[in-house]
């Protein structure tokens, strides 16, 4: 059972922005902000090569039906991951360049270390390096000190591998304390945290109060900006039940378009398109992704942005105000 440090837990919020909703007032009157996110994990997954006594069984073409036995090496799985770093990541980079857009990478440090040319190209093209961990591993059983050490080493390793110090993060794994420890660790490191994406509970950014700041003077509190992530548009569903086809009976391309259409009509929201090099980087899926990209490129009032840019806009337009989800509106 993982340890839960009660003093730093963020309270649950079942109300959000309620009936009125929230208009993020995107730049230049845009109706929607669209965030493409590449989960770059290939080379950081569990691997016989790295002494894990197993080849990664999760999120590859054959998935749980792939025949991997605990404690065994499986070259098929390893090579599917290698496809992502050899081929898929470059295809996605070319698509972003074709449309003149930038994306955020949820970057695993070890993966970036093992593909330095790709790391350099991402920075050169203006893409954001976000923190996704040292390696793509579960660490739910870490104690507080190990948790803090892992966070610190993740930032340092990503900085060394890419030349960029991340200003946002999404681990997706970790202990119940990891999320709340990040702003503490970064403050100790003298680094700025713009946002967390460790949440799935909204379609717009929002502020949370940090429990350990409760006794500080109001002007010294910083809060934490949340930029929500999602699973429903995630290409990982190709390898999960019910997959794409979706539970709504739609293909990947169709589901992305219908999600965009709803959010675009409502206005003031943001849309996430989570990607993996070894999944949507495959030619057939990449063509569906390109069709979607072309579809939204022909709509007026669409702001495709990194999460760093989304966070900076929100902070400027809705600066933190203790006790307010939307800041000082």
Domain span including residue 200: 33-317
Tell me if 225 is assigned to some domain: yes
* pLDDT value at residue 114: 95
List of residues 6+ apart from 322 with CB closer than 8 A: 209, 218, 221, 223
Residue 14: how many CA atoms within 13 Å on its side-chain side?
0
Indicate the length of the chain as a whole number. 329
- The pTM of the full predicted model, rounded to 2 decimals, is 0.93
In a domain, 230, yes or no: yes
Instruction: Establish if 185 belongs to a structural domain.
Output: yes
Domain assignment present for residue 94? The answer is yes
**pLDDT tens digits for 259-285?**
999 999 999 999 999 999 999 999 999
- Please state the domain count of the chain: 1
Using alpha carbons, select from 105, 131, 139, 116 the residue that is nearest to residue 43.
Answer: 116
pLDDT computed for residue 76 by the predictor:
76
pLDDT band at residue 4 using 50, 70 and 90 as cut-offs:
confident
Rounded distance between C-alpha atoms, residue 280 and residue 80, angstroms: 12
**Is 60 a member of any domain?**
yes
Please tell me the predicted confidence (pLDDT) of residue 66: 57
3-state secondary structure 60-89: CCCHHHCCCCCCCCCHHHHHHHHHHHHHHH
* 125 domain-assigned: yes
Distance CA 69, CA 321 (A): 52
- CA torsion, ordered 273, 43, 155, 6, to nearest 10 deg: 70
Query: Would you say residue 8 lies in a domain?
Result: no
Which run of H or of E encompasses 132? strand 128-133
For residue 285, what are its two tokens?
Answer: 């899926």
CATH number of the domain that 274 lies in?
Answer: 3.20.20.370
Residue 123 pLDDT > 90, yes or no? yes
Q: Identify whether 120 is part of a domain.
A: yes
Average pLDDT, the chain: 91
Give me the mean pLDDT over the 143-163 stretch: 96
């Amino acid at each position: 059972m993982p340890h839960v440090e009660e003093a730093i837990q963020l309270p649950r919020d079942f109300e959000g922005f309620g009936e009125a909703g929230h208009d993020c007032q995107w730049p230049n009157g845009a109706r929607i902000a669209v965030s493409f996110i590449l989960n770059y994990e290939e080379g950081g997954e569990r691997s016989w090569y790295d002494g894990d006594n197993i080849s990664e069984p999760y999120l590859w073409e054959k998935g749980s039906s792939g025949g991997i036995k605990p404690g065994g090496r499986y070259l098929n799985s390893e090579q599917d991951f290698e496809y992502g770093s050899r081929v898929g990541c470059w295809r996605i980079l070319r698509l972003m360049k074709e449309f003149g857009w930038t994306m955020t990478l949820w970057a695993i440090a070890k993966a970036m270390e093992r593909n330095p040319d790709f790391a350099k190209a991402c920075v050169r093209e203006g893409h954001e390096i976000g923190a996704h961990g040292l390696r793509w591993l579960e660490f739910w059983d870490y104690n507080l000190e190990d948790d803090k050490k892992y966070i610190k080493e993740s930032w340092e390793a990503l900085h060394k591998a890419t030349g960029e110090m991340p200003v946002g993060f999404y681990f997706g794994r970790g202990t119940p304390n990891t999320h709340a420890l990040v702003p503490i660790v970064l403050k100790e490191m003298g680094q700025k945290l713009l946002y967390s994406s460790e949440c799935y509970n909204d379609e717009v950014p929002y502020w949370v109060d940090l429990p350990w700041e409760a006794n500080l003077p109001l002007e010294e509190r910083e809060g934490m900006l949340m930029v929500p992530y999602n699973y429903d548009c995630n290409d990982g569903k190709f390898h999960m039940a019910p997959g794409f086809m979706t539970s709504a009976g739609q293909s990947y391309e169709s589901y992305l378009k219908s999600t965009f259409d709803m959010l675009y009509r409502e206005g003031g929201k943001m849309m996430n398109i989570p990607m993996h090099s070894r999944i949507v980087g495959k030619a057939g899926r990449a063509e569906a992704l390109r069709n979607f990209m072309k579809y939204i490129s022909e709509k007026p009032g669409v702001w495709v942005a990194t999460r760093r840019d989304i966070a900076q806009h929100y902070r400027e337009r809705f600066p933190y105000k203790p006790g307010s989800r939307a800041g000082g509106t």
